[in-house]
Structure formats: structure tokens, C-alpha cells
Amino acid sequence: MPNKTNKISIVLPVYNEEAGIKNTIEVLENFVECQIETYEIIFVDDGSVDSSVDIIRHAQSQYENIRLVEFSRNFGHQLAITAGIRYAKGDAVVVMDADLQDPPSVIPNMIEKWQEGFDVVYGKRLIREGESFFKRFSAKAFYRVMRKVANVDIPLDTGDFRLMDRKVVDALSKLNEPEPFVRGLVSWVGFKQTAVTYERQERNAGVTKYPLTKMIRLASDGITSFSEIPLKIVNYTGFISIVAGIIYGLITIFTGISTLTFAISLMCVLSGMIMLALGIIGDYLYRTFDASKHRPQYVVSNSYGFNNHTGNIAT
């Protein structure tokens, strides 16, 4: 049984967060300083094109336990988290947004559950402050669909705000998927998991870095990597179309009715279905193709603060 002392790494992915990152650093530092004995805060800059990196670099001169990993370009939120947990040296790692939507005050509750013996403590959102109706609705719908179709048990209404024990982090770090869906992978690796509930706050500044296109991509990554149900639906639809076609053919033969218009509309529907099916199969195929290239998941251009062991974290 490992000694569960409070060596905690906090990982925050950052993409163009210049408007709020200074405030995040101050709030987080002030909070964890009096709550956690030994900690490090790892920012992973996901190719920001604003002054986020400069602000974090400046904060490093003020706070000795801040680290920074810089990506060479924007690789995406999920890969920024993946890199951050690989750099983390803590006995437990907490992942949270860099915009204070995940309140630091929940971290002590997570640590408490971890010390009780849980390996993963995920934050379950009770309400979501300041987010559009569309965002709340689409997120709720996505979590419910995901729960129905995924072949792992992904808890409802949980994002990436969670604490993970060292052994979970080590297991996750070995996975090398090009487009990882981290919350699915955390369920996939297993271990003893529990939830703490929290109220998701408004962003402290700036706007969401998850536009609709990125949300769709995340949803598609989640579904294609954890479910074969869309492929089954393609199968069933094909089967139903064949049966319907045969019945329709028999009706026209036996009744002699000419139903050209109906036939044309049927053709449109069927060709649409075929294109849709091809698209779904293509999504799965693309994932295989992507994985077969064996490229590294991301490229790190710089890292700062990791060799400096004068920080609070024990190595």
C-alpha cells in the first residue's frame, strides 16, 4: 500500500487564455498553498498565439512550483492533458481547466476521497453557470448518448476535472492513441473510482476555446473510440432497406401501379443512407489510418521548471 502523502500535481491545459490566466494562477496558488503541503502546478500551453506563455513564464519567477510545457502548435485539449500528466511527478494528479470553471475549492474533497482509498475521484457537475442553453443541452445529450453506447462505464456529467492516483496516471501514460478521449480512457483503465459533486462556475475571462467544430470532433472521437454501435446501426439500416425494397418491388409487380415519384424519393433516401453509412465507416477507418502512422501524439517545443527541484514537489 503506497503512502498517500499530499504530493499533488495540478495540470492545466492552456490555449489563448491571456485574459484570465494571471487570475487563475493567483487564485490557485493562494488556495492550494494553504491546503496542500507539497504540490506543483503544470501548465501545458497548447500552441497559444497570445501572451499566455509570457504570463506563465513571468509567474514562474514569483512562484517556484509552477512548471510549463509548451507545445509546438495547437494539438488539442485532450493531448495537452495527456502531456501534462506524463510530466507530473505527484502521487496524485489533478486535471482542471485554466479558466477557473472547475473550482479549486473542490480539490481538498478530491484528496480526502483519494486518501480514503479511491484511485480516481472525478468531479460531477451539478449545475453549469454562465454557459449557453445550447452548450448545456448538447453536453447533457452527449453524456447520455455516450453512456448508452460506450463499451466502458463513463460517468454522466463529468468532464476532465478529476484527481487520479499515480498508478492510474502510469497506466494512462502508456496509452498512445492519436486522438485520445481522456475521460473514456480513465474509465477504460479501471481502478476504484468515485465522484465528488460541484457547481461548474463561469469562465473567469475570455471565451470558450471549444467552438462547435471542436465539440463535434470530441464527440466523434469519444464515440468512435469507445463504441461500435454506429456500425451496427449501418448494418440494421441496410437490412431494413433491403426488406423494404423487396416488399415495394413485389407490390409494384402484383398491382401493376406505376409509382415513379415514390421510386425517385426512395432512391434519394437510400443513396443518402449509403453516403451516411460510408461516412460512419470512414470515421472508423480514419482512426485506424491515423494510428497506423505511428506519429508522436504531440511535439513539445520547450519545457520550463522541471529540472529545478528546489520547488515543493519531492522527486
132's CB contacts (< 8 A; 6+ apart) are none
The residue range among 98-106, 109-117, 187-195, 222-230 that interacts with Mg ion, by the rule CB under 5 A, is: 98-106
Residue 74 or residue 194: which is nearer to ligand UDP going by CB? 74
Residue 67 or residue 77: which is nearer to ligand UDP going by CB? 77
* Residue 27 backbone dihedrals phi, psi, to 5 degrees: -60, -45
The contact set with ligand UDP (CB under 6 A) reads: 13-15, 17, 46, 74, 76-77, 80, 97-99, 101, 208-210
Find out whether 8 and 90 touch, Cβ atoms under 8 Å. Answer: yes
Residue 24 or residue 101: which is nearer to Mg ion going by CB? 101
Q: Cβ of residue 29: shortest distance to ligand UDP, in angstroms?
A: 17
Residue with cell 485532450: 78
Q: Cβ of residue 173: shortest distance to Mg ion, in angstroms?
A: 24
Question: With binding defined as CB under 5 A, does residue 102 bind Mg ion?
Answer: no
Residue 206 or residue 238: which is nearer to Mg ion going by CB? 206
* Residue 300 backbone dihedrals phi, psi, to 5 degrees: -95, 125
Q: Give the C-alpha separation, 256 to 48, whole Å.
A: 67
Residue 52 or residue 224: which is nearer to ligand UDP going by CB? 52
Q: Which of 99, 160, 177, 179 binds Mg ion (CB under 5 A)?
A: 99
Residue 135 or residue 192: which is nearer to Mg ion going by CB? 135
What does the block give as the cell for 58? 513571468
Question: For residue 204, how far is the Cα from the chain centroid?
Answer: 20
The residue range among 56-64, 92-100, 273-281, 303-311 that interacts with Mg ion, by the rule CB under 5 A, is: 92-100
Q: Which does 46 bind (CB under 5 to 8 A by kind): ligand UDP, Mg ion, none?
A: ligand UDP
Question: With binding defined as CB under 5 A, does residue 101 bind Mg ion?
Answer: yes
How does 44-83 read in b/e, with b if 16+ C-beta sit within 10 Å?
bbbbbeebbbebbbebbeebebbbbbbbeebbbbbbbbbb
Q: Cβ of residue 193: shortest distance to Mg ion, in angstroms?
A: 23
Residue 134's beta-bridge partner residues? none
Q: Which does 98 bind (CB under 5 to 8 A by kind): ligand UDP, Mg ion, none?
A: ligand UDP
Q: Cβ of residue 72: shortest distance to Mg ion, in angstroms?
A: 23
Q: Cβ of residue 128: shortest distance to ligand UDP, in angstroms?
A: 9
Find out whether 106 and 89 touch, Cβ atoms under 8 Å. Answer: no
Question: With binding defined as CB under 5 A, does residue 97 bind Mg ion?
Answer: yes
Q: Give the C-alpha separation, 161 to 197, whole Å.
A: 11
Taking the alpha carbons of 268, 273, 279, 282 in that order, is the dihedral positive or negative?
Answer: negative
Q: Which of residues 32-91 bind Mg ion (CB under 5 A)?
A: none
Residue 13 or residue 184: which is nearer to ligand UDP going by CB? 13
Residue type, 192: K
Residue type, 241: S
Residue 121's beta-bridge partner residues? 163, 194
Q: Give the C-alpha separation, 18 to 100, whole Å.
A: 13
Q: Which does 105 bind (CB under 5 to 8 A by kind): Mg ion, ligand UDP, none?
A: none
Q: Which does 10 bind (CB under 5 to 8 A by kind): Mg ion, ligand UDP, none?
A: none
Q: Cβ of residue 283: shortest distance to Mg ion, in angstroms?
A: 26
Specify the pairing of strand 92-95 against strand 300-304: unpaired
Q: Which residues bind Mg ion (CB under 5 A)?
A: 97, 99, 101
